[in-house]
Amino acid sequence: MHRVGSAGNTAGSSRPRKEKRFTYVLNDADNKKHCAGINCLSYLKASTSGTSDYLFTGSRDGTLKRWESKNGVPSFSATFESHVDWVNDAIVVGQNLVSCSSDTTLKVWNSLSDGACTRTLRQHSDYVTCLAAAENNSNICASGGLGGEVFIWDLDSALAPVAKSVDAKEDETPNGNCGPALTTLCNVNSSSNLASTNGQSHGYSPIAAKGHKDSVYALAMNDTGTLLVSGGTEKVVRLWDSRTGSKKVKLRGHTDNIRALLIDSTGRFCLSGSSDSMIRLWDLGQQRCVHSYAVHTDSVWALASTPSFTHVYSGGRDQSVYLTDLGNRESVLLCTNEHPVLQLSLQDDMIWVATTDSSVHGWEAERENPENLFKKGGSFLAGNLSFSRARASLEGSAPVPIHKEPSSVMPGIPAIIQHEILNNRRHVLTKDTAGSVKLWEITRGAVIEDFGKVPFEDKKKELFEMVSIPAWFTMDARLGCLSVHLDTPQCFSAEIYAVDLNVAGAQEDLKINLAQETLRGLLVHWSKRKQRSGSHGLSNGDTSTGKDVSLRNLPHPRSEVDDGAENHASQMLPSFEFSTVSPPSIITEGSSGGPWRKRITDLDGTESDIPWWIVDCVEHNRFPKENTKCGFYLHPAEGSPAPNITQGKLSAPRILRIHKVANYVVEKLDRPLDGNADSTFAMGLTSGQSQFSALDSSSRLGLKPWQKSKPSVEILCNSQQVLLPEMSLATVRAYVWKKPEDLILNYRVVQSR
């Protein structure tokens, strides 16, 4: 696992962070399915007869899902959403579900709840990659991650409720996030938010198992929770006393990263899988490797043993799942997958296989009597040298799988693997793992056209528009879906005329700020619920003191802040209405407890950690006024008899149309020169009205704004190219002028038709 920047992980980022970033994640129409690879599986057996078993899946899309299993047929039951990066592992500890993520946190959930996070545990300083639990001790679990960090948690102590102090109230963070200290305890309050309190005085610190010099990728614990084994990039298996965190022994043998570990119920034997393609069986009492199994042709990433620890199922990068008899070394290929295997879960007569694909497949297997599978033939003797299997594969003696097709499938959604932001800065073209190409409108989070399986580059060229809009957002598809990142003040740099959005009843000169309207659409539920609840608390823990805290904290002079009067519409515009059926999720950074994630329809109005600049924009129509002007010179064309109508540089909005410039020239030619050498181009400014008014008759007839009048002049650039009337100044500068110097436009009189 390599460090990759993400929405929720900003450690080591080189970009300037003056204010908190705001991200929204566009979810697919079917929110019952994962949209990225499945990193982990965990199973919860029915506690009483008549109840169902549950399978939990954790995905690279940042969510966990619960599946109810009836007669081996899984059905979606709930989504657990709070992590802001990949979910790397998940385990069931008693009735709790514990998950870990690349967002550096562990999260605790009530496994049978509707998906609410009950606690966030913060101790790791880097990605948390693996978890382990004790079968017969529902109070102990361990976590490991990058940087060599291993912690052993007493869940009863970590989850103990703590009285809510006055200081703690100021640090409330939404959706299960805790406060600033690494050793932090949380308490659920009435609004499902979590209060944090400093753990140094009366909190809890997990036991640190110190000794790893590099990243940890695998953990395992014996049934009683007294013994912990770990492995990672150091290529050794380490044993720990989990009660004290002290080192016991170090086992050497693997020649590459250790990626999977298992311990038998007695704590005597340990199985390890490695990137050297080998599986090793260790006798922990004798502190030595007793068997090596060359089964796979590539890295071994997943292991699952039978209850008797006599047989092991294994999977990995070679996309295959093998069953191996640990005693007589006989192996058989159970199945092959289309993607590398990341984790296995053996339950009854089914083994669930998680891969880098978003679907989970169930294959017929044997939990209690695995020897029955060898009777179907195709078995081979596992060697003890890794190159023996690779050589056999190259020589064409690869085994034939027992099963051709899975017996059960939990389908996922193809992950987005390629995306391109189009020039209009509202549409994004994507391609997924199935090869489907789609067009998204990010200002309302919806797919507006599905082109099917067509060449991505060809479709991108076909959709090219010669328009120039500032880059007001950044984007990635790390979670398998589109994540849109907004940073102030850059996000407020893009404007568009309302008529270009087909806004009914909009005045011709009314401008829309894309970021402002997008934020209003995302937080419409939050705003309404906040008003109903009478919540007046400001963001980041500030409390109302009778003064406008948001203005007090503005990093910009008041003159640079747009009051929104001329841009803001009282009603929600259709181009910015987000779906409530598959609503996007927002990710933002808490005031002290780290980032958090929630669906916009789940916001209840009490979230106090929404960044102040978002609140100022959505509730008060105030946002930093980016420079949206374009300076240019306007001169007669060479050889034109038209007089010079200006004596200096003009200034106009970047989105101003060329037909407006032509109208300006016509107007000036009818009037004497005013002599102002530094005049301001007034045409195209918004009307200042806060409500939309009716268009004139020509607009109602369906005419474009530039078609309403036939200017008697032509506008040229580079002294020769005639500009189209619907082009904007920004478009001309980007695609015609193409120079860093101030834009120069020319005009000439033409014969009226």
The pLDDT of residue 560 = 40
Which range, of 23-37, 367-381, 454-468, 670-684, averages the lowest pLDDT? 670-684
Which spans in 433-523 are helix H? 456-462, 514-522
pLDDT top residue among 79 and 200: 79
- Spatial separation of the C-alpha atoms in residues 201 and 53, rounded to whole Å: 41
Instruction: Give 628-671+709-752's CATH code, choosing from 3.30.70.3270, 3.10.20.90, 3.30.230.70, 1.10.1740.10.
Output: 3.10.20.90
Per cent of the chain over pLDDT 70 is: 78
Check residue 673 and give its pLDDT. Answer: 44
For CA atoms 659, 664, 667, 668, the dihedral sign is negative
User: In this model, does residue 29 exceed pLDDT 80?
Assistant: no
Residue 550 has pLDDT above 50, yes or no: no
pLDDT at site 689: 30
> Look-up: residue for tokens 């570990």?
261
As given in the structure block, the two tokens for residue 478 are: 């790390």
- Architecture category of domain 40-122 in CATH: Beta Barrel (2.40)
Report whether pLDDT(130) > 50. yes
Q: Given pLDDT bands bounded at 50, 70 and 90, which one contains residue 609?
A: confident
Q: Delimit the CATH 3.10.20.90 region(s) of the chain.
A: 628-671+709-752
User: At 233, is the pLDDT very low, low, confident or very high (cuts 50, 70, 90)?
Assistant: very high
Please state which of the ranges 263-277, 450-464, 557-571, 624-638 shows the lowest mean pLDDT. Answer: 557-571
pLDDT above 90: residue 278: yes
Residues 6+ apart with CB under 8 A from 394: none
Q: Which of 24-33, 238-247, 499-508, 706-715 has the lowest mean pLDDT?
A: 706-715
Q: Is the pLDDT of residue 706 over 80?
A: no
Average pLDDT over residues 627-652: 87
Confidence of residue 141 (pLDDT cuts 50, 70, 90): very high
676 pLDDT above the threshold of 50: no
pLDDT for res 501: 86
> Does 598 have pLDDT greater than 50?
yes
Q: Which residues of 405-423 are buried (b: 16+ CB within 10 A; e: fewer)?
A: ebeeebebbbbbeebebbb
Tokens (6 digits) for 242 = 């989990």
Q: What pLDDT does residue 1 have?
A: 52
> Sorting pLDDT into bands at 50, 70 and 90, what band is 692?
very low
| For residues 101-123, average pLDDT | 92
- Residue 269's pLDDT band, with cuts at 50, 70 and 90, is very high
> What phi-psi label fits residue 589: left (phi over 0), alpha (psi between -120 and 50 degrees) or beta?
beta
SS3 518: helix
Predicted TM-score of the model (pTM)? 0.82
- Residue 8, pLDDT score: 47
**Residue 49 has what pLDDT?**
63
Q: Which of the two residues, 380 and 453, has the higher pLDDT score?
A: 453
pLDDT for 288: 93
pLDDT at 151: 96
Contact by Cβ (8 Å): 126, 145:
yes
What is the distance between the alpha carbons of residues 23 and 7, in angstroms, rounded to a whole number? 7
Higher pLDDT, 518 or 705: 518
CA distance 224 to 222: 6
CA atoms of 200 and 195, how far apart (whole Å)? 16
Task: Write out the two tokens for 339.
Answer: 């993607």
Q: What are phi and psi of 139, to 5 degrees?
A: -115, -10
Please give the structure tokens belonging to residue 508.
């011709």
Helix (H), strand (E) counts: the chain: 13, 49
Which helix (H) or strand (E) segment holds residue 386: the answer is: helix 386-394
Q: Give ranges for CATH 2.40.10.480 in the chain.
A: 40-122
At 644, the pLDDT band (50, 70, 90 cuts) reads confident
- Report the chain's mean pLDDT, rounded to a whole number: 81
